[in-house]
Amino acid sequence: MKRYQVIAGKLAEQIDQGVYVLGERMPGIRQLSQDFGVSVATIVHAHQLLEDQGYLEARSRSGHYVARRRPLPLAQVRSTLKSPVRLAQRQFWYASLRDAQSCSVVLGNAIPHRDFLPVHAMRRAMSTAARLDNVSPHYMFPPGFPPLRRQIAKRMLKTGAMIDPEQIIITAGAQEAVRLALQAVAKDHAVIAVESPVFYGILQVIESLKMRAVEIPTDPQSGISLQALKLAAEQWQVQACVVVPHHNNPLGYTMPNPAKAKLLQIARQYDMRIIEDDVYGDLGFDAVRPTSLLSMDKHDRVMYCSSFSKTVMPGLRIGWFIAGSRQPEVEQLKFISNIASASLPQAALAYYLSRSGHEKYLRRIRSDYAHQMALYQHAVLEAFPDQTKVSHPSGGFVFWVECPTSVDIMQLYQKALQQGIHIAVGPLFTAKPAFNHCLRLNVAIPWQRPIAKAIQTLGSLARE
């Protein structure tokens, strides 16, 4: 037996014994070379063998990770194109938020645990910003704090878009940015296309503006159905389409670039605006940052929204908006809505981003989330009934669980609450009756005994 085969066998044995767990990053090639006293080339051959055997998977510029020995059953979202509707789940959405506050294990909210956030770095930044007498006491009228907009413009280059800082409007999170976008391009009773399932916050915004949502069937791997979107545009005057194209909430997919180009073509053909919600774009498990729709847009069709709520700190409530030709109107709408976003968080965030530690943090957190995702998915499939399926996110920290149709998700929700466990049920992610056997889970909570026990409990309740 050759040397690399022996080493591959030892590493495989360690994986089987649980020394390295599902989704965990393996030691680097040079480290293993030193540990085994062999050449780098020998370790490379061992890695290739383990990849062929299904033990490891390589991630671009990131290293090798313990892989699933068998493919996970993929959720198959079943959704059909129906007439535009108003939101039907409004009261339950607020009730669910209240329920979460009384639970000891909250798996339903897409909010990272503090262990996954740069809390200490932001505390230092906040303390520094508070001492800037010429900044924090005053309003920062739209479009917002210039140093922060410059930092965001630098970050936008990673999405492929070259943006002038003057084009960036600071908002109170991405939710406000989406609202401003819809206010700028559509009126009462307008038809807005959304993914199905769709993040419920988007439905709330559409409802609050007295608009109607037409839900477009969405594939867990490739994203919104462009054929169905085109059909909707032919039947109704769709004024805008809201998409979360990268590491989508709740499915986790990333839209391929050819599909993005086709989406832009449809938008131009049917005189439709695209509202790109890119809050999860920096959290891909692959080191390559997805190309934004905005960077591919040549005809002023895309309005870009994002925030730092998922990557720095939710409580900052700092997002941004690139409105294109609608910028003057949007700045007026922002001023009318709340005059200005808070000054101190803007100054603190600008200082934090200028210190060059954010990219290092993102590299770590992407790896952490990939590991967490694998742990949670494996635990769900072990605990839940046979035929349960899950989505395969390309990034972010939420995934979709599709239980057998015999599972009544609202009964599961109520029984879980009695056990102190909160989940996000499928009906929250639609304006029509659907997804009654589905749920979304958040993996951005450290994997500890209470979490493992909670998933076991959920699985037992679902089996009942």
Tell me whether residue 328 is in a domain.
yes
CB contact at 8 A, 94 and 201: no
Q: Domain count of the chain?
A: 2
pLDDT digits over 312-324, tens only? 999 999 999 999 9
Contact 113, 119 (CB under 8 A): no
Amino acid 62: pLDDT? 75
Does residue 136 carry a pLDDT above 70?
no
125 and 23 fall within a common domain: no
pLDDT tens, residue by residue, 152-175: 999 999 999 999 999 999 999 999
Asked if pLDDT for residue 439 goes beyond 60, the answer is: yes
Q: Pseudo-torsion of CA 255, 261, 262, 263, nearest 10°?
A: 70
> What is the rounded (10 degree) CA torsion for 410, 412, 418, 424?
-70
Asked which of 354, 371, 388 is the last residue of a domain, the reply is 354
φ and ψ of 270, to 5 deg: -110, 15
Residues 163 and 35 in one domain: no
Q: What is the overall mean pLDDT for the chain?
A: 90
The percentage of the chain sitting over the pLDDT mark of 70, rounded to a whole number, equals: 95
Neighbours of 354 (CB within 10 A): 15
Q: Of 306, 324, 354, which residue sits at a domain end?
A: 354
Residue 17 pLDDT exceeds 80 = no
Residue 89 pLDDT > 80, yes or no? Answer: no
Whether residue 90 has pLDDT greater than 70: no
Return the DSSP state at 384: S
- CA 220, 400, 426, 321 dihedral sign is negative
Residue 280 pLDDT more than 90?
A: yes
Residues 143 and 170: beta-carbon distance below 8 Å: yes
pLDDT at 387 over 80: yes
Q: Does residue 206 sit in the same domain as residue 283?
A: yes
- Shared domain for 26 and 154, answered yes or no, is no
Q: Is residue 56 domain-shared with residue 178, that is, in the same domain?
A: no
Alpha carbon distance 141, 340 (integer Å) = 5
Token pair 């729709």 in the structure block, residue: 293
Percentage above 90 pLDDT, the chain: 67
Residue 94 lies in a domain: no
Statement to judge: residues 296 and 224 lie in one domain: yes
Both 52 and 170 in one domain: the answer is no
Whether 372 maps to a domain, the answer reads no
Residues 58 and 124 in one domain: no
109 against 86, higher pLDDT: 109
Asked if the structure places residue 420 within a domain, the reply is: no
* pLDDT tier, 237 (very low <50, low <70, confident <90, very high otherwise): very high
- The per-residue pLDDT for range 71-88, each reduced to its tens digit, is 677 777 777 777 777 665
Report, as an integer, the average pLDDT of 404-414.
95
pTM greater than the 0.75 cutoff: yes
What is the arithmetic mean of pLDDT over 257-268?
97
Cis geometry, peptide bond prior to residue 256 (ω within 30 degrees of 0): no
Is residue 309 domain-shared with residue 170, that is, in the same domain? yes
Q: Is the pLDDT of residue 13 over 80?
A: no
Q: 45, 66, 87: which is the final residue of a domain?
A: 66
pLDDT of residue 273: 97
The yes-or-no verdict on residue 299 having pLDDT over 70 is yes
CA distance 79 to 414: 25
Do 265 and 346 share a domain, yes or no? yes
Q: What angle do CA 338, 164, 240 make, to 5 degrees?
A: 60
Q: Is residue 276 part of a domain?
A: yes
What CATH number does residue 38 fall under?
A: 1.10.10.10
380 domain-assigned:
no
Residue 61 lies in a domain: yes
Instruction: Answer whether 346's CB lies under 8 Å from 168's CB.
Output: no
- Residue 57 sits in which domain range? 3-66
Can you tell me the distance from the alpha carbon of 306 to that of 393, in angstroms, rounded to the nearest whole number? Answer: 19
Task: Indicate whether 272 pLDDT > 80.
Answer: yes
Instruction: Calculate mean pLDDT across residues 292-310.
Output: 97
Least confident of 22-31, 261-270, 336-345: 22-31
Average pLDDT over residues 283-310: 94
Task: Tell me: do 128 and 62 sit in the same domain.
Answer: no
Same domain, 249 and 345: yes
Q: What is the CATH number of the domain that holds 296?
A: 3.40.640.10
Close Cβ partners of 131 (under 8 Å, ≥ 6 residues apart): none
317 assigned to some structural domain: yes
Q: Is 63 strand, coil or helix? A: strand
Q: Looking at residue 29, what is its pLDDT?
A: 86
Phi, psi dihedral angles at 322 (to 5 degrees): -115, 110
Higher pLDDT, 6 or 409: 409
